[in-house]
Amino acid sequence: MKPFPILIFFGFAPLFAIADQAKENDDFWIHTEFILLSLIASFFAAFSLTPNHLIPAIVHGIVFTLAFLAYSFSHQSLGSRLGKFTIIFFWLGTEYVLVKSPWRTETIFLADALILKTDWLQWTNHTGYLGGSLWILTTNLLLYLAILKDKLNWAYLSLMVIVLAGPAIASYFISGQPINRDQMITLYTQGSSTLNSYLKEGELVTRTAAWISVLILLLAFVKNKTKKNGSRSSRKTGD
């Protein structure tokens, strides 16, 4: 649906629902196979179902499943204080790592689904190209909260409509050119850009998400280690 990729704003919402299993199972690998298979199918479709792209689709699926595994691990360590929005941080952080890696040109980013709708993305000259990924993920999260989490929540549904339509409408009132994939690849391959603001800020959204993701994981590891040490101390005291 590249000419009008509206379904990309709804297709990932079920994956947020599957991630609810992290609250019910001690083993954070349980049920992530559904997420993995969904992502593999999505990336395989993004490669236009070409058989020789099956391996890259599998690799993409595995890499981005790590965002959900990171959430599941962190949730078990930090508890209910950790909301679903952290999946967005982990996903965007993964995209930032990939755009900084040697495989950036072969990587399919979520924002690529909007590659033919540049008139929706004028605001990316402030956020970076992968701000489109944030838009897609946020809309999907709000759809999950509105429909798939419990009963229908009209407040979240209204907010989802605003978040979905707002950036596209705002684009018609923002001057300047949107950042495209080629400009992003050039910046992180050659370190140059024709836009001074983009040369200075780069992929601001995903870079920020990557740092937040690191902080969340560090906190989760420390909390997990503290719990284990506390359990050992309790056993020794009991003995």
With beta carbons less than 8 A apart as the criterion, state whether 200 and 194 touch: no
Is residue 234 included in any domain, yes or no?
no
pLDDT of residue 76: 81
pLDDT bucket at 26, cuts 50 / 70 / 90: low
Q: Is the pLDDT of residue 233 over 90?
A: no
Q: Is the pLDDT of residue 162 over 90?
A: yes
Is residue 165 included in any domain, yes or no?
yes
pLDDT bucket at 158, cuts 50 / 70 / 90: very high
Q: Is the pLDDT of residue 236 over 70?
A: no
Q: What percent of the chain has pLDDT over 70?
A: 89
Write the pLDDT tens digit of every residue in 53-91.
888 888 888 889 889 888 888 888 887 777 889 999 999
pTM, full prediction = 0.87
Q: Is the pLDDT of residue 238 over 70?
A: no
With beta carbons less than 8 A apart as the criterion, state whether 213 and 100 touch: no
Write the pLDDT tens digit of every residue in 187-209.
999 888 888 888 888 899 999 99
Sign of CA dihedral 35, 39, 40, 45: positive
With beta carbons less than 8 A apart as the criterion, state whether 66 and 60 touch: no
Is residue 125 included in any domain, yes or no?
yes
pLDDT of residue 172: 87
- Total domain count, the chain: 1
Q: What percent of the chain has pLDDT over 90?
A: 38
Least trusted range by pLDDT, from 93-102, 103-112, 176-185, 194-203: 194-203
Most confident of 2-16, 151-165, 195-209: 151-165
Is residue 231 included in any domain, yes or no?
no
With beta carbons less than 8 A apart as the criterion, state whether 109 and 130 touch: yes
Is residue 130 included in any domain, yes or no?
yes
Structural domain that includes position 133: 6-225
Is residue 76 included in any domain, yes or no?
yes
Is residue 232 included in any domain, yes or no?
no
pLDDT of residue 77: 81
Q: Averaged over 150-160, what is the pLDDT? A: 92
Q: Averaged over 204-216, what is the pLDDT? A: 94
